Structure 1
Amino acid sequence: MTTQADRTVDQLLRIPLAQCPPVLITGGAGYIGSHAALALLDLGIKVVILDDMSTGSSLLVPPNAVFVRGQAGDAELVSRVIAEESIGAIMHFAASISVGDSVSQPAAYYRNNLVETLGLAETAVNARIRAMVFSSTAAVYAEGSSRPLRETDPLGPINPYGASKAMAETVLRDIARASPHALSLGILRYFNVAGADPLGRSGQNSVHPHHLIEIATQVATGQRDMIHVYGSDYPTEDGTGVRDYVHVSDVAAAHVLMLQTILAASGQSLTFNLGYGQGQSVLDVLSALSVASGRPLPYRFTGRREGDPASLVADASLAASLGWTPRYRDIATIVSHALAWEAQRTKAVAVAA
């Protein structure tokens, strides 16, 4: 299996969209998975969504996607779906993603993020799947770097969520490398995914929200009285945590490009960051959302959360070799799209009630 060199990847080849096979998306009824489904469907590619609906929502499932309820690690079910729907590639999003919950419930995170991924990978190899794109995270990196993080920087996750994803990356690489049918693997390490589909077709719809922008839009739309800011004494400019917020539609576009790329060469393995290389503090985000909503957002400082790093910013220059050109890289656009979605979602929920 070929692997990428240290930040010297030349412009990569991609198969034409017309040659993309049907794609199975695990976790496709979730936030990022549903946006990837929309991106593929918009390009005329058949999508089959597999989701156990433990955190997914029927509101986010595109009407023109095939939907199957179940778990990614269910070998019998996944094998049947692959055969019946002529699946040629997999995008694996299904995972537990709350840093705080991973600290208090580590066993559940290792079971869902690692064991289920292992089962899916074995099934993919047995079914001769050509390519798999894996949803990973910047939480796999070690803390302490003062510069944007590169793909070659040391890994050292500080919470079980990041550790489960780092382990899953290793498992997938090993299985793909040993695959007799040359399974190609693409790993995308997200920084902080935010925003919503500009056409209003999908966005965050969590039962128990934990993303800053999702919670803040609920304050802006009057569903919450205030927002807690966890930590005011970080070694950052204003004392609050700094993150590289990347628009979910740009993330979805990167998945399509990664899929086209790893389908072009069997046995290829690539790992890329997805971010904009610019950090926004918690207070920066709240300020941008105040402007977008036309009202101040009440907030209160509280203690740091265990497992939260001070700063996470990407060096995503390597992703340019995919042809990735982000369209929505400013925080004002990101929070505006998120706010529009939340206002729309709130009305839909009220009507349904």
Structure 2
Amino acid sequence: MTRKILVTGGTGFIGSHTCVELIAGGYQVLVLDNLSNSRETVLDAIEQISGARPGFIRGDIRDRALLDSIFKQHDIGAVIHFAGLKAVGESVARPLDYHDNNVAGTVTLLQAMQQAGVRSLVFSSSATVYGDPQQLPIPEDHPLSATNPYGHTKLVLEEIMGQLSRSEPGWRIALLRYFNPVGAHPSGLIGEAPQGVPNNLMPYVAQVASGQRERVQVFGQDYDTPDGTGVRDYIHVMDLAQGHVAALRYLQDNEPELLAVNLGTGRGYSVLEMIQAFARSSGRDIPYTIAPRRPGDIAACWADTRLAREKLGWTAVRDIQEMCDDAWRWQARQS
């Protein structure tokens, strides 16, 4: 197991936690990141947690010459690919940037892997590829669609990887469709550090709890859900990180294939349930106001997790309170 795992976007939220789990699993880790939405100091925290510092190269997945040099200079056994822009609203405002970075960048990465003979890839996909769910829980064979440019980039890339694996046998590719990653490492040393106004619920709630923001806006309270607010499948980032290691081991231990698999908990929590759980973790009131629904938001979304359990031997084990406890521990260290 001496070959290195190249982790693109490895200083980001999910990438950094996955680096910790890879090191714990005995892997050597090399991070490639352009630091567009993260900081190099995350490597210090990874080293403090794991006792080992990942190798680090600052660079962009669109830089083919850099990628070629990385594969020549390092014995890379597999790639875990996180590097990508990920804000839905921003993707609507800047679709060309999203297609350039996410689609063109990933194609460049795949070409470099192809040239280097590296055929194992764990890809960061998203439950956004299911569009507005037609059934709950959502299985992997659910019809695919996209309601925004971000989701469209993930959908296009899944299609490209399917075409690649059919045209060139030998590829081992896991398409991991995340639901809603939240939480932080229990040490409080790494967590989600959004730049500017958070796009996701939990970091926004955390900033309200810490006094950085005045109140949470709850978009819509008239959905067909138990309390009228949107329901999502929140998954602890440490469970998600362990899912990546499980997927990597699966690819290494089995015949080449293209595997699409959900990573979620298999149950949903409403916006109000999340706010209440975070209030318990922080010991603070979290004021909120009800605002109109946002265009494109769906009422409820949670995963059918049977395939991950059957194929990867993986299941999420952390509950909503642990998610909030760990996120608050991280947030409190930032204040």
TM-score, with structure 2 as normaliser:
0.93
Q: Structure 2 vs 1, CA of residues 282 and 66 (structure 1 numbering), >3 Å: closer, same or farther?
A: same
| SS state at 2:218 partner | strand
Q: What amino acid is aligned across from residue 153 of structure 1 in structure 2?
A: H
Pairing 1:135–2:121 present: no
Aligned pairs, number: 326
Checking the alignment, whether the CA contact within 8 Å between 1:57 and 1:205 is kept in structure 2 is no
Alpha-carbon distance in structure 2 between the residues aligned to 1:59 and 1:230: 35
Q: Distance in 1 between matches of 2:3 and 2:134?
A: 40
Q: CA deviation at 1:130?
A: 3.1
Structure 1 runs (4+) greater than 4 angstroms displaced = none
Q: What is the match of residue 10 of structure 2?
A: 28
Per the alignment, residue 46 of structure 1 pairs with 28
Structure 1 segment 78-157 matched on structure 2, within 5 A? 78-157=67-146
Range with greater deviation from structure 2 (230-239 or 128-137): 230-239
Cα distance in 1 between the residues matched to 2:165 and 2:297: 32
- Compared with structure 1, are the counterparts of its residues 144 and 88 closer, same or farther at alpha carbon in structure 2 (3 Å cutoff)? closer
Q: Unmatched 5+ residue regions in structure 1? A: 1-18, 347-353
RMSD over aligned CA atoms reads 1.5
Alpha-carbon offset, residue 37 of structure 1: 0.7
**Runs (5+) with no aligned partner, structure 2:** 48-52
Letter in 2 for 1:260: R
- The letter for the 2-side match of 1:164 is T
Corresponding residue to 2:179 among 177, 191, 199: 191
| Aligned partner letter, 1:37 | C
Is 1:215 the counterpart of 2:197? The answer is no
Cross-structure match for 2:309: 320
Counterpart code for 1:183: W
CA deviation string 1:245-287 (max 9, x = no partner): 0010011101111111112235221110011111011111001
Q: Whole-Å Cα distance in 2 between the matches of residues 327 and 144 of structure 1? A: 24
1:142-291 to 2 correspondences below 5 Å: 142-179=131-168, 182-208=170-196, 209-291=198-280
In the alignment, residue 315 of structure 2 is paired with which amino acid? T
Distance in 1, Cα, partners of 2:79 & 2:15: 11
Q: Deviations over 1:151-189 (max 9, x none)?
A: 000011211111110111111222233236x12101100
Aligned partner letter, 1:24: L
The CA distance in 1 between the partners of 2:41 and 2:188, in whole Å, is 12
Q: CA deviation at 1:20?
A: 6.4
Structure 1 distance, partners of 2:221, 2:89, is 18
Contact conserved, 2:182 with 2:236, CA < 8 A, in 1?
A: yes
After superposition, what is the alpha-carbon deviation per residue over 1:171-208, rounded to whole angstroms, capped at 9, x for unaligned?
A: 1222233236x121011000001111112231101112
